Structure 1
Amino acid sequence: MHVTAVTLDGTTRQDPPMDPAALLALMPFAVATGIELDRAGPGEVAGRLPWSPERCTAGGVLHGGALMTLADTVGAVCAFMNLPAGASTSTLASATSLLRAVRGGTAHATARPLHVGRSTIVVLTEVTDDEGRAVASVTQTQAVLAPA
């Protein structure tokens, strides 16, 4: 069975890629910022962003925008993995709580769907540090857009 889906870059393809590297390649901004995807499936998507000086704000702290880019990327892939055949998605809302600074190591993000409906998908992305401590929590609401 072949499924036609709209990719994150707006093109259509058969059998949406499940390979994390193929999914990430569809998101050039995420690639440019250094995000890596570890696994991707409808029930869970995981990725990471290593600390580096160019991703920091004052004091050597990983910038909140970098953490949001990580969470948004992982959350968007999670929503994409849960779309019905031929549908696309667009973010309706995103709420972030920044909980702890990252001063080294790697920020790890795990996204899971909270709700997969006909018109919306809600994704919760938890970001942790190397010790497993909570760094950020992001809830995204994505529209499920019917094929044009």
Structure 2
Amino acid sequence: MNPTDIVAAIPFAVATGIVLVSASPYEAVGTLEWSEDRTTTGGAMHGGAIMTLADTIGAVCAFLNLPEGSFTSTTSSSTVFTRGVRKGTVTATARPIHVGRSTIAVVTEVRDGDGKLVAQVTQSQAVLKQG
């Protein structure tokens, strides 16, 4: 599936400006640009914007590991922030750490333009059957 098509299927990701760079069952990568409307006090990128990027890219990684006829939903997410972002682009890289029948666990690293760790997110995704 084309990365543009995947993001187009997630209206919130489109509305927030997330760009999916690459996606496979082994790794998904996406970016989000710093902009003034995504900041908090002091001009730092809002943690919610960073978490939205990580959750979206993590969900894409989980989605690409689903059995046919299934869908996914985040059931838990834990974020550790390590530094602020006041300019540039943040890049999220998600990799699965567990792919099971009922859950998929993903770790997502978010890095700034200098490659420095901004946040690490560990999330669990439910494997849900349609119908």
TM-score (norm 1): 0.87
Unaligned runs of 5+ in 2: none
C-alpha distance after superposition, 1:11-36 (max 9, x if no partner): xxxxxxx2110000011111111110
State the alpha-carbon separation in 2 of the partners of residues 87 and 28 from structure 1: 19
State the alpha-carbon separation in 2 of the partners of residues 42 and 32 from structure 1: 24
Residue in structure 2 matching 1:52, options 13, 19, 35: 35
Alignment match, 2:81? 98
Deviation at 1:41, TM superposition (A): 0.6
Question: Which residue identity does 1:145 align to in structure 2?
Answer: L
SS at match of 1:91: strand
Residue in structure 2 matching 1:79, options 51, 62, 85: 62
State the alpha-carbon separation in 2 of the partners of residues 90 and 55 from structure 1: 25
**What does 1:108-127 correspond to in 2, within 5 Å?**
108-127=91-110
SS at match of 2:92: strand
State the alpha-carbon separation in 2 of the partners of residues 127 and 90 from structure 1: 20
Alignment match, 1:12? none
**What does 1:21-40 correspond to in 2, within 5 Å?**
21-40=4-23
Question: Which residue identity does 2:44 align to in structure 1?
Answer: V
Runs of 4+, deviation exceeding 3 Å: none
Deviation at 1:64, TM superposition (A): 0.2
TM-score (norm 2): 0.98
State yes or no: 1:43 paired with 2:26: yes
Unaligned runs of 5+ in 1: 1-17
Structure index of larger Rg: 1
CA root-mean-square deviation: 0.7
Alignment match, 1:135? 118
Q: What count of residue pairs does the alignment treat as equivalent? A: 131
Deviation at 1:146, TM superposition (A): 2.1
Identity %: 61
SS at match of 2:66: coil
State the alpha-carbon separation in 1 of the partners of residues 73 and 7 from structure 2: 17
